[in-house]
Chains A and B, each alone.
Chain A
Amino acid sequence: MNRFSYVRATDVAQAAREAGAPAAKIIAGGTNLVDLMKYDVERPGRLVDITRLPGLRAIEDAADGGLRIGALVTNTEVAYDRRVEARYPLLSSTILAGATPQLRNSATTGGNLLQRTRCYYFYDVGTPCNKREPGTGCPAIPGVNRIHAVLGASEHCIATHPSDMCVAMAALEAVVRVSGPGGERAIPFAEFHRLPGDAPERDTNLGRGEVVTAVELPARGFPAHYTYLKLRDRHSYAFALVSVAVGMEMDGGRIGEARFALGGVAHKPWRDPEAEAMLRGQAASRDLFERAAERTLRGAKGYGHNTFKIELARRAIVRALEQAAAGTPQSQVDKRIR
């Protein structure tokens, strides 16, 4: 870890101003940033501590029936919040599927949005990486890519976004509130994270000096028909190989609104509007779900070690949709995949 200076911001404007400096980084929970600093992947010249900022620690009801979650609310606080549990159980479920009680106590909502990839090469400064050092190459493509992307990757980067929480946020069509030099703005979740393209060093569309202040959840929370199915290499404390978050509304046997997002397969939580559209108004059936899964994975490409993810994702989508339609969410404690 390099040497750096430290400032404790007292208001959002100051934080944004400080964070706008070229070598500055914002620190909140620190669970990813301190990790990356110890690996010398991040070498900030100045840390801007936003943990004391007022007004970012609350979960508040919004006028439209939604919920506003402050950027500094911890993962634990969100997951066990009564309103979240009752109205957005999918969000609770995804958060509790990730990391550990210890990490969830420290990790914040804003930080989770900005969590960086787990790509082995990104983490190892002894190897090239286009995301870490643009232009050096991507050894994951011909190399070890078990945990890498099968959708939306580019010739420059096949990294995946590792967050569980964000997969639910994508399905819930959350809105990210940010504050920065240009004032405040709202970023729809689908536009918050980027695909790698030819600029894999940029994970998100957040501008320099912009601070995430809150995430807003629209009123529609799919409390009756949802599921988060996470498949991984051990039963807890592991990143997803493939995960699927589903929110559905059912009218008798027919599907009303339907959304699903995939984790572990792309540089961002992956949604396919066409596949979702196929579900709406249809009777829930395995055949329908299989077709939706096919549609979602139509452009999928494997790189060797990770090719299995395509078939795994196909099956996981079908299972997750079945579970959601049947109202039998995946339990995070009893890992039986029903």
Chain B
Amino acid sequence: MSPIPNAETHVGSPRSRVDGRAKVTGAARYSGEFTAPDLAHGYVVNSTVAKGRITRLDTAAALAAPGVLEVFTHENRPRTAWFSYNYQDEVGPPGSPFRPLYDDKVVYSGQPIALVVAETFEAARGAASLVRVSYEAEAHETDLKNRMDEAYEPPKKRTGISPPPKPRGDARGAYADAPVKVSGDYWAAYEHHNPMEPHATTVVWEGGGKLLVHDKNQGVLNAQSYIASVFGLGKGDVRVVTPFVGGGFGSGLRPQYQLFLAVMAALELRRSVRVVLTRDQMFTHVYRPNTFQTVRLGANPDGALRSIQQHAIAGTSQFEDHQEVVVNWAGTLYHCDNVELTYKLAKLDTYTPGDMRAPGAPLGLFATESAMDELACATGVDPVEIRLRNYTEKDENENKNFTSKELRACYQVGAERFGWSKRNPEPRSMREGRELIGWGMASGAWEAQMMKTSARATLTADGKLEVACATADIGTGTYTILTQIGADAFGLRMEDVTTKLGDTTLPYSPVQGGSWTAASAGTAVQLACEAVREKLFKHARKASGSPLADVKLDAVSFADGRIEVTADPSRFVRIADAMRAGGVDRLEAEETAKPSMIDQLRYTGYTHSAIFVEVRVDEELGAVRVTRVVDAVAAGKILNPKTARSQVVGGIVWGIGMALEEETMPDHNLGRFMNHNYAEYHVPVNADVQGIEVVFVDEHDTKVSPIGVKGLGEIGIVGTAAAIANAIHHATGKRVRDMPITIDKVLG
């Protein structure tokens, strides 16, 4: 083993992705790219009505087409679990999960109603167009506006999602009495996740009743349990292996229907089957719900909040109550004695919405932070200053202290880097040529979570380390940060460490989501490595004439393939010698990381940000450009500044999309999303994104997670849309409360 080039730790240093080579050479294999001898291909047929019954499903022409093996429908579906609870998964909301091909009922437009399986992809695709379907359609409702009167508080709460806190003080009375008031209604459009890799499952029929499943998901164990439960299989017979995920953003948290269909077909045909959804079919499952909000703020003339009222109504399906945290965020950002927050659902004839990058938070804070900006205008207090005046050092929803909160520093550092002090507060005061220039800002917050997660570390005598955990790397950099943690534990080079993820044979992990993976899997790897270090150290002390015989573990360092006395590196034992002394050639440990119950009872943990945005708006034509973004983020310890920055930049790009472009447009007459493709559902392209600066504010936090990490996957998007809306107001004087803020709304 060659010496480590310098003594700096990998953790905290910018490191290139360890899976970079695989990804830039095309070697990385995604779920729809595994193959098997005799692989059959499935192609899905979707419903064209939103609600009703299938009266006739004519598959004769499809079955007669060359290469077709079978057409699965509700009429010939193989037996699966009878009860809907068998279809439940780790993260699903209360309700009765959707069961593909279950019966003749259609519950949303785009529902899968048949799977054509053929020898080739083209044969399956061609035959799918020959399936003829008749429906008895029933009246449907997909328009949230028509169901708001029937909105209800979800009777059963979704696990892990905090409902709004109980009202504090008298928000309505305080609002009535407040000298300064702002109020507004806010809309957020439907959005679809649209990861670049479409959902795909390849089921390899291994014989003997065993399945090897490659499925696009954010948690292989969740997919495995689902399959086992639905098809009555033993977990030992189903192995799910997903080494690479081409983006998830929440769409892979719950099992999607292609997993069910591919496994069903493989079991029935007793051969390997692959089902890949088309881009259009990516609009036939999970999405971010259409959400309506009303916000009322009452304040003193100096901007001090006297009342906060925020009420949200979000759409959900007829069969499940999807819930997310939309309205609670003000309670963690601002001090206010009179607060009333409510969150209701309305049932629509759609598929169940689901978690999409920072579920709830960017919607809620779009409203809260737009209203705060409005309050700043109404009181003449600077937008940053008004947030500082209302700053809270306590989570007022839960009446707990924060594990840490460096949001104040975010405001200061962000404002400084952006040049906020040069801002003329007057709307329409800044222009260049025909463009109005606007500067806006907003706060962001996302819960810092840690979940029970296990990891294994295996050190071999040649000084190579393997760390393993069932979690996923959906582009977040998990492979890389776990490699860094492992390498530092033994003073190894990154190249000497192999990280294995995304395999149900590896130690337990929940789904990758909620920004909790770095803290959870990172801690688990750290603990497993520490356990191996202890074992190795014991062996090292036992070596004959060991120079470490009389030293303690905390007095040694691991570096250059050896264990050395920190104060006197000339006293050392090589890893290989320590193993020889112990009579082993490898040492292994599996450890489980759990959040501290005591700290959880006492504190709440959040990642925070302050985001500053410059927009340029063509005064006459309404075209908006985001020309500059500075995001100051306090997220505890930053494991890898390079991949961490990428996470935040990506979130900001999502925020630009949310604010200005992304909208799935439903035709309520047909109950169907119409712009179901990448040409008409606009996500940002390269030309939409200009200068983005990310600043990480120092934040030391030992309570949030043992390794001091808070998570970065969501925070980038959270305040971005509000900051853009505020910047557009500053540029134009126009307050748009309806996302996305397209050209027509700027003009209108």
Contacts and interface: CB of A to CB of B under 8 A. Distances in A.
B743 A241 contact: yes
B743 A233 contact: yes
Given A3-B126, A126-B672, A147-B680, A235 B744 contact: no
A1 B672 contact: no
Contacts of A239: 679
B618 A337 contact: yes
Interface string B655-678: 000001100011101101011110
B670 A127 contact: yes
A231 B680 contact: no
A123 B679 CA distance: 11
A240 to B, nearest CB: 11
A182 interface: no
Interface stretch (B236-244, B598-606, B681-689, B719-727): B681-689
A336 interface: yes
A2 B679 contact: no
Interface string A266-280: 000000000000000
A142 B669 CA distance: 8
Contact of A2 (B126, B616, B621): B126
A316 interface: yes
A142 B670 CA distance: 10
A144 B435 contact: no
Q: Which of B666, B667, B747 has the most CB of A within 10 A?
A: B667
Contacts of A338: 433-434
Interface in A203-247: 231, 233-239, 241
B443 interface: no
A123 B678 CA distance: 13
Contact of A143 (B622, B667, B684): B667
A143 B623 contact: no
A1 B43 CA distance: 12
A98 to B, nearest CB: 12
Contact of B669 (A123, A139, A146, A318): A139
Interface in A277-314: 305, 308, 311-312
A8 to B, nearest CB: 20
Given A1-B122, A231-B743, A123 B433 contact: no
Contacts of A3: 65-66, 126
B633 to A, nearest CB: 26
B129 interface: yes
A57 interface: no
Given A319-B621, A336-B435, A120 B661 contact: no
A295 B327 CA distance: 49
B208 interface: no
B46 A312 contact: no
B125 interface: yes
Q: Which of B109, B126, B618, B680 has the most CB of A within 10 A?
A: B680
B665 A146 contact: yes
Interface string B508-536: 00000000000000000000000000000
A38 B125 CA distance: 9
Interface string A178-206: 00000000000000000000000000000
B311 interface: no
A335 interface: yes
A291 B160 CA distance: 61
A109 B54 CA distance: 45
Given A1-B122, A124-B674, A308-B743, A235 B685 contact: yes
A2 B625 contact: no
A308 B744 contact: yes
B332 interface: no
Interface string A106-132: 000000000000101101101100000
Contact of A311 (B434, B672, B684, B747): B747
Given A235-B688, A312-B621, A335-B687, A123 B677 contact: yes
Contacts of A316: 621
A1 B126 contact: yes
A125 B589 CA distance: 56
Given A308-B743, A315-B621, A338-B434, A124 B122 contact: no
A292 B433 CA distance: 24
B48 interface: yes
Nearest to A306: B744
Contact of A233 (B672, B686, B687, B742): B742
Q: Which of B620, B622, B744 has the most CB of A within 10 A?
A: B744
Contact of A120 (B434, B675, B682): B675
B672 A236 contact: no
A40 interface: yes
Interface string A28-60: 000000000011100100000000000000000
Contact of B48 (A2, A127, A237): A127
B207 interface: no
Contacts of B620: 315, 318-319
Contacts of B660: 234
A131 to B, nearest CB: 15
B748 interface: yes
Contact of B674 (A120, A235, A237): A120
Contacts of B621: 231, 312, 315-316, 319, 337
A124 B676 contact: yes
A38 B661 CA distance: 26
Q: Which of A231, A235, A315 has the most CB of B within 10 A?
A: A235
Contact of A126 (B48, B433, B435, B661): B48
B276 to A, nearest CB: 13
A118 B676 CA distance: 12
Interface in B18-74: 46, 48, 65-66
Interface in B733-748: 742-744, 747-748
A16 to B, nearest CB: 28
B279 to A, nearest CB: 10
A40 B129 CA distance: 7
A126 B132 CA distance: 11
Contacts of A40: 129
Contacts of A231: 621, 623, 743
B434 A308 contact: no
A230 to B, nearest CB: 10
B625 A335 contact: yes
A235 B625 contact: yes
Contacts of B625: 235, 335-336
Given A1-B122, A337-B618, A121 B685 contact: no
Interface in B692-748: 742-744, 747-748
A39 B125 CA distance: 10
Contacts of B684: 234
Nearest to B683: A234
Interface string A316-332: 10110000000000000
Interface string A77-96: 00000000000000000000
A337 B677 contact: no
Nearest to B626: A235
Nearest to A43: B129
A47 B125 CA distance: 18
A337 to B, nearest CB: 5
Interface of A: 1-3, 38-40, 43, 118, 120-121, 123-124, 126-127, 139, 142-144, 146-147, 231, 233-239, 241, 305, 308, 311-312, 315-316, 318-319, 335-338
Given A120-B675, A124-B674, 9 more contacts: A2-B126, A39-B280, A147-B680, A233-B661, A234-B682, A235-B688, A237-B685, A308-B743, A337-B618
Interface of B: 46, 48, 65-66, 109, 122, 125-126, 129, 280, 433-435, 616, 618, 620-623, 625, 660-661, 665-667, 669-670, 672, 674-677, 679-680, 682, 684-688, 742-744, 747-748
11 contacts: A1-B122, A40-B129, A120-B665, A127-B48, A142-B669, A234-B684, A236-B688, A241-B743, A308-B744, A336-B435, A338-B433
Sorted nearest first, the 6 A-B pairs with minimum C-beta distance are A126-B48, A308-B744, A236-B687, A120-B674, A235-B687, A143-B667
